[in-house]
Amino acid sequence: MDSVVTDPPYEIGFMNRGFDRTGIAFDVDLWRGILRVLKPGGHVAAFAASRTYHRLAGAIEDAGFEIRDQIDWVYASGMPHGSDAAILIDRERREDLEPTRRVCRFIRAAMDAKGLASKDLASAFDCNPRLIDHWATEGRLGCESVSRAAQWSRLKTLLDLDDAMDGEVERLNARKGQPSDTFKQLPVIGEHASETGGVPGERFQAHDNLIREPSDTAKPFKGWYSQLKPAHEPICLARKPLDGNLARNLLEYGTGALHIDACRVPFRNMADEAESKGKNQHGRFGSGPRDNHVYGADKADRADYTAEARFAPNMLFDQSAAKALDRQSGVTVSRKGKPRASTKPGDGWGMTHTGAEYDDMGGASRFYPVFRYCSKASPSERPKVDGILHPTVKPVELMRWLVRLITPEGGLVLEPFAGSGTTLEACLLEHMQCTASELDPDYIKLIHARLSKPIQNELF
């Protein structure tokens, strides 16, 4: 394998989906297996959630990879998922708290009588032992929960429980997902413009579209939420250790470096290109080596700026995020028409007046890869088969950029978490080979649908 471009589970239980809470992305043995099949110097580009990135990067590093960088995919299309603290307080079914605790104590007493711990029961439910802790919690207030009907029946068999709590468990299950009795009585002060949120049958689903006045208990927490709006996803860039130095590794395996020229940031227009190429004409003006009080003096004379596009950075923007950045930065001018005041080296970078002054202007986003407009995947990029959709699809252009960055021309890419097949499509468009795996048979259907459609390779 020449490279790995993958979008593994974020392990945050997204939309209560089972695939996103297995822990596989943090499994060091998984990444050791990937390390084994990669060529020396082969790179990995793996997506992660902002709050679990450290676990992913730690597992990759512990497997033997070198962490080389973190690429940030920044977008403005993320939906706020944080919960309104005031609404949570008013919706909390405090009247059900003590009955729930009674059921938990009932289960815990039966477990203690049999000498069983949560881990002993977890295998019977194919779940994490922490779920059993919630059903039989003791002393950890706020963690109490009641098992569903089928789970309760299984618990009764395993623990030889009598029928004393059957009625209470049935009643509490019927109230799941319902707000408190007092919440329904709060004054209605408005109505949301949009339809009720959530997916029928899923964990998160609104029950009406009404806006209610917070209670006196909840008012101190009005304006407080549980989390920030998501606006970036980190990508862990790692590399298998080289076989010798980089030059020898490249000659032997073709891997170890990044294909920067294939991922440069195009100039916005001819004027932008002219200004950018005219800003560093150090060779023409005989600027000589740069003297720098931080890094020391360069040995070689500085050359003119002749690149056909800007150097690829470790931050990627979508169109909306780029526009927001430009609104904040305004049109920036790099000393346009104003020579530097001093002809002597200063502290820090030690720049001097040379006659080759910066002369470009525009919004700050011109320095980042915005030309690809990596917004969240559009509906046209989300295959649907028999009502099945994948909830975390990445844009094809974003995956193409990553494939080009770390894969030699015509190389073989590994995607261990294929999902709906975005990486596979990206490899086809970039004329790369790809070996992919996917555990869920429903998502295999999405991959077939994606790869069965006509694929057009657009120039950009």
pLDDT for 407 equals 97
Whether the full predicted model's pTM is greater than 0.95, yes or no, is no
**Closest to 108 in 3D by CA, of 165, 150, 149:** 165
408-445: per-residue pLDDT in tens?
Answer: 999 999 999 988 889 999 999 999 999 999 888 888 88
CB contact at 8 A, 255 and 3: yes
pLDDT for 339 equals 45
pLDDT for 231 equals 84
What is the distance between the alpha carbons of residues 321 and 126, in angstroms, rounded to a whole number? 42
194-221 average pLDDT score: 68
Q: How many CA atoms lie within 13 A of 192 on its CB side?
A: 11
CB contact at 8 A, 92 and 180: yes
97-139: per-residue pLDDT in tens?
Answer: 899 999 999 999 999 999 999 999 988 998 888 889 999 987 5
With 60 as the cut, is the pLDDT of residue 247 above it? Answer: yes
pLDDT above 90 covers a percentage of the chain that reads 41
With 60 as the cut, is the pLDDT of residue 199 above it? Answer: no
pLDDT for 31 equals 97
Range of lowest pLDDT (82-86, 347-351, 405-409): 347-351
What is the distance between the alpha carbons of residues 48 and 8, in angstroms, rounded to a whole number? 7
pLDDT for 296 equals 64
Range of lowest pLDDT (256-260, 339-343, 407-411, 430-434): 339-343
With 60 as the cut, is the pLDDT of residue 364 above it? Answer: no
pLDDT for 374 equals 44
With 60 as the cut, is the pLDDT of residue 367 above it? Answer: no
What is the distance between the alpha carbons of residues 42 and 36, in angstroms, rounded to a whole number? 11
Band of the pLDDT at 21, cuts 50, 70, 90? confident
With 70 as the cut, is the pLDDT of residue 16 above it? Answer: no
HEC per residue, 377-399: CCHHHCCCECCECCCCCCCHHHH
pLDDT for 391 equals 56
What is the bridge-based pairing of β-strands 43-47 and 232-239?
antiparallel
* CB atoms closer than 10 angstroms to residue 367: 18
pLDDT for 304 equals 64
What is the distance between the alpha carbons of residues 343 and 288, in angstroms, rounded to a whole number? 13
Band of the pLDDT at 278, cuts 50, 70, 90? low
